[in-house]
Every structure is written in structure tokens, then in C-alpha cells.
Chains A and B, each alone.
Chain A
Amino acid sequence: MAEIAINHRKGKKRRRSKRLSTRVDFTPMVDLGFLLITFFMLATTLNKPQTMELALPAKEKIPEAERTKVKASKTVTILLDKENALFYYEGTKENEIDPPLIRTNYSTAGLRQYLLKRNFEVMARVRELNVAKEQKKLTEKEYEARRSELKKDKNGPIVLIKATEGAVYGNLIDVLDEMAICNIDRYAILDITADDLRMIAHWKENNANVNGGK
């Protein structure tokens, strides 16, 4: 408004012609614009949620003969317990002796370090692939194909994930995340067995003794 007024006051021309200024005050329009921007900004979801794909095996019973056998020494069983407790053991029960149960946690120095160590061959090769990709020797497609091939490596560990009743969904996602980070493709989510529960109980018992002795 002010500008228009100034133009009028200056107006020597005013007498000669009654031409009005073509200038429009944009302030209200800017107000409106920003109001709408604010509305849209608040009403939108800018970041779409991420998802993680999970494929479970079909439930049909497969006859014993057709089942794929895996070497017990290659398996790692991860047990998720209540209060974010995490245990793992290697192999299975042999000659009625339980494999040693080791307590770990969800940090990078815990489970991840162990899994990376177990899977170092694949990890090393994936790292080589990453380097090749960064030097643009590989296309995105080739990279993905080679990487998924590497993940199928027969020497890598087979991870069995079992959760107790006390575990929460977040724990499961954390472990699945570790699988992705450590390039482990061969894992399964299984029901916990009585043996596993007994081992956890046993571990806790032992540990209570240790703490009591101190």
C-alpha cells in the first residue's frame, strides 16, 4: 500500500493522466503462500518408513530324506532372552554334553564381532566387491548378483535364531539386522527347545553363583 501512496504523492503526472500504478502489493499473497506451505509441511510424511523383507519357509512337512542336512559344526544358535539378554552357542549337543553357552549383547563389540569373525571369508570377498564397485568396475546389477552368490557360500555359518517368551520384537529385528550387516543369508527363525531353555537356566544359575562368591 505504501508504495502506491508514494507514487501518488510524487504524481506530477497525476494531472495529465489518471493511469493507475500496475504494482500490486504482494504481502498478503506471500502470507497465504507460507500458510499453505506450513500446512503441507506438517501434513506430509517426508520420510517413508523402511521395510525389511522376511521370507519364512513353507509350513508343509518335508519328508526326512528330502531335508537339507547341515553340518552341526557350522551352526550357530542365537538365543534371545528377556531384558535384552543374548546368548549363543556353536554346534549342538554331542554325547549328552551341552556346547558352552556364551553370553553376548547387541552392541557392535558383541554379537556382530563374533559373527563377522565366523563369516570372515565371505566378508572379505564382499569387501573386495565393494572396492570393485566403488572403482566402477561393476554395475549395480552385477554387484547385487555377485553379492548374493557370495552369501550362499557353503563355508559360512548357519544361524538359528530362537527367542524365548520374554523376548520382544525389537530384539528379533536387531538380530535380523546383524544378519544383513554380516552378509549371512543362511539363517532360520525357529522355536525354542526345552534344551535351549535348560541351558539358559543353567547359565543363570552358574552366574548367580559367581556373583555370590564375589
Chain B
Amino acid sequence: MPKVKIPRKSTAIDMTAMCDVAFLLLTFFMLTSNFTKKEATTVHVPTSISELKIPERNVMLILVDQEGKIFFGIDGQENRMEVLKKMGSEYHLDFTQEELKQFSLVNSFGLSAGSLKRFLAASDEAREAPGFVSGIPADSLNNQLRSWVIAARSTKPEYRITIKADQKTPYPAIKHLMDLLQDLKENRYNLITTLETASDLQTEQK
């Protein structure tokens, strides 16, 4: 059999261009990214046509989940420590330096002030365990949310109240929250929504 000579070509490709592209994209993503912060609860926010963006800073976030449990979070690590100190003095709890530091890393939480120490001592996994969070008490007997809002407001007056509630949160829970905030003369809120898409509209019409 005569051998057919196949001209051998090098399979190596010049990777320089690809490398350029990869690093260009990498730079883009690094510069534009702000990390997804894990929130204390998962909330499916309702859709709306509003296109206003959430402010970058000075957000006082109040989360309300499907059962009406309330979670609270503020941004700025120093502010968080300051607020916790104020809460500690109000509820006669002494937070150690370590606990303050732990708290400054907490994005949002939903616990009564009394169980905060237990929360700060717990690991990340334990914090996520079902039944660990009970929501911040906000009834007339033990209105801790009120104290949190007052403490946060006195720490930084620029905070904007942002309410993030689930689509299926019962209306009375929202009503109660708004009443409570109105009592504190907080009358302007940002309600977090997601952008309505065409598919949402279609399902709505069905």
C-alpha cells in the first residue's frame, strides 16, 4: 500500500488573542461587580413597571417575608456597630468587641434583641437553620423594630427606608409596618420591586 502523505499541521493555536479577551472581560466584571449579599430570608418581590434604581448607599432595609416576619438591615459597618451599641444600652445588653465586629458583618437579621448574642455566636450554617430566625418583634407590647429604626435614624439621618416584601405577604402585615413607621414620622419609603417582563404580563392576563 502506498502511503498517502497527509501534510501535518500544527494543532497549536495562538492563545494570545483569547487571553486578551478573557482578561478584558475579567476586568469588566471586576469593575462592575458588587457582590450578591446573602439576605436573612428569601423574598420574591412583586413586579412593577417602575424603573427607578435602588440607592447605592444609606439603605435601611426592612424585609418582610411571606409569613409577615420582619427582618432588618442597614449598610455601613461602622454604622452597624454604632446602632448595636445603642440597642445594647436600651435593652441592657453588653456586647463585646468581638460581637460588635461580628454584627458589623451581618447584612440583615430577624431576631429579638435578647437572642442576638446567641445569633452572633452561631456559625453561618447554624444561622441558616430553619427555626433559628423568628423575626423582629414589632407588636405594641415589645416593639423592637421601632427601637432599631430610631437607633439607625439617630446614627445616620440620611438613611432611606426601603421595604422589601414578598408578593404573598398578607396586606395586614404591611399595613402594620407602615403604621409603625408613620408613628415615627417616617412617611417616605422605597418599595423594592423587579422589572415587569412581557411573560409576567401574559400570565397576569390569563
Contacts and interface: CB of A to CB of B under 8 A. Distances in A.
Q: Chain B binding site: helix, strand, loop or mixed by DSSP?
A: mixed
Contact of A48 (B18, B54, B173): B54
Interface in B37-53: 45-53
Contacts of A25: 15
A163 B18 contact: no
A173 B15 contact: no
Contact of B50 (A33, A36, A50, A191): A50
Contacts of A58: 182, 185, 187
A132 interface: no
Interface in B1-43: 10-12, 14-16, 18-19, 22-23, 25-26, 29-30, 32-36
Interface string B157-186: 000001011111111111100100011010
Given A3-B10, A173-B48, A50 B189 contact: no
A33 B195 contact: no
B27 to A, nearest CB: 10
A43 B53 contact: no
B29 A37 contact: yes
Given A40-B26, A43-B33, A80-B171, A54 B189 contact: yes
A75 interface: no
A56 B178 contact: yes
Interface in A20-52: 25-27, 29-30, 33-34, 36-37, 40-41, 43-52
A66 interface: no
B18 A30 contact: yes
A172 interface: yes
Nearest to A174: B46
A165 to B, nearest CB: 5
Contact of B46 (A6, A167, A169): A169
Nearest to B205: A107
A80 B165 CA distance: 17
A53 B190 contact: yes
B46 A55 contact: no
B46 A2 contact: no
Contacts of A180: 48-50
Interface of A: 2-3, 6, 25-27, 29-30, 33-34, 36-37, 40-41, 43-59, 80, 106-109, 163-174, 176-177, 180-181, 191
4 cross-chain pairs, A with B, having the tightest CB-CB distances, nearest first: A33-B22, A26-B15, A44-B33, A170-B167
20 contacts: A3-B12, A6-B10, A30-B19, A33-B22, A37-B29, A43-B35, A44-B29, A46-B32, A49-B54, A49-B193, A50-B54, A52-B193, A54-B189, A54-B190, A55-B187, A56-B187, A168-B171, A170-B167, A173-B46, A177-B196
Given A50-B192, A177-B196, 17 more contacts: A6-B10, A26-B18, A30-B18, A33-B19, A36-B26, A50-B53, A50-B54, A51-B53, A51-B54, A52-B52, A52-B191, A55-B189, A56-B178, A56-B189, A58-B182, A80-B171, A169-B174
